[in-house]
Amino acid sequence: MNFIHQTLDDLRQSGLLREMRQVDGPQGPTIRIGGRDLVCLCSNNYLSLASHPELAEAAAQAARDLGCGSGASRLVSGTMAIHAELEAAIARFKHRQAAVIFPTGYMANVGAISALVSRDDAVIVDKLNHASIIDGCRLSGAKLLVYPHCDPAKLDRTLQNASRYRRRLVITDSVFSMDGDVAPLPDITSVCARHDAMLMIDEAHATGVLGPTGRGTEEYFGMLGDPRYAGIIVMGTLSKAIGSIGGFVAGSRELIDYLCNLARSFIYTTALPPPACAASIAAIRLIERDHRPLADLRANVELLNGLLRDAKLIELVGNAGRVTPIFPIRIGDVSRAMNVSLRLFDAGYLCPAIRPPTVPEGTSRLRVSLQAGHTEVQLRGFVQALRQALQG
Ligand SMILES: *Cc1c(COP(=O)(O)O)cnc(C)c1O
pLDDT in tens, 127-178: 999 999 999 999 999 999 999 999 999 999 999 999 999 999 999 999 999 9
What is the Cα gyration radius of the chain? 21
Report which protein residue has its CA nearest ligand 1's atom 1. 204
Residue 214: alpha-carbon gap to chain centroid: 14
Compute, in angstroms, the gap from residue 106 CA to the centroid of ligand 1: 6
**Residue 29 in contact with residue 48, Cβ under 8 Å?**
yes
Domains assigned to the chain: 53-289 (3.40.640.10), 291-391 (3.90.1150.10)
> Facing residues of 354 across strands?
365
**Residue 98 in contact with residue 241, Cβ under 8 Å?**
no
Backbone angles phi, psi at 162, to 5 degrees: -105, 10
Taking residues 195-223, report their average pLDDT. 98
Compute, in angstroms, the gap from residue 76 CA to the centroid of ligand 1: 26
Compute, in angstroms, the gap from residue 58 CA to the centroid of ligand 1: 24
91-115 pLDDT, tens per residue? 999 999 999 999 999 999 999 999 9
Report which DSSP code applies to 15.
Answer: T
Q: What is the pTM of this model?
A: 0.96
**Residue 222 in contact with residue 208, Cβ under 8 Å?**
no
329-386 pLDDT, tens per residue? 999 999 999 999 999 999 999 999 999 888 888 999 999 999 999 999 999 999 999 9
Q: Which atom of ligand 1 is the closest one to the Cα of 245?
A: 7
The CA angle 238-289-85, to the nearest 5 degrees, is 50
318-329 pLDDT, tens per residue? 988 899 999 999
Report which protein residue has its CA nearest ligand 1's atom 6. 105
| Whether residue 220 has its Cβ less than 6 Å from ligand 1 | no
Q: Which atom of ligand 1 is the closest one to the Cα of 239?
A: 7
| Whether residue 273 has its Cβ less than 6 Å from ligand 1 | no
Taking residues 48-66, report their average pLDDT. 98
pLDDT value at 392 more than 80: no
pLDDT value of position 30: 98
Compute, in angstroms, the gap from residue 124 CA to the centroid of ligand 1: 19
Compute, in angstroms, the gap from residue 105 CA to the centroid of ligand 1: 5
pLDDT value at 197 more than 80: yes
241-280 pLDDT, tens per residue? 999 999 999 999 999 999 999 999 999 999 999 999 999 9
Question: Which residue from 256, 241, 243 is spatially nearest to 96, judged by alpha carbons?
Answer: 256
Q: Which atom of ligand 1 is the closest one to the Cα of 205?
A: 15
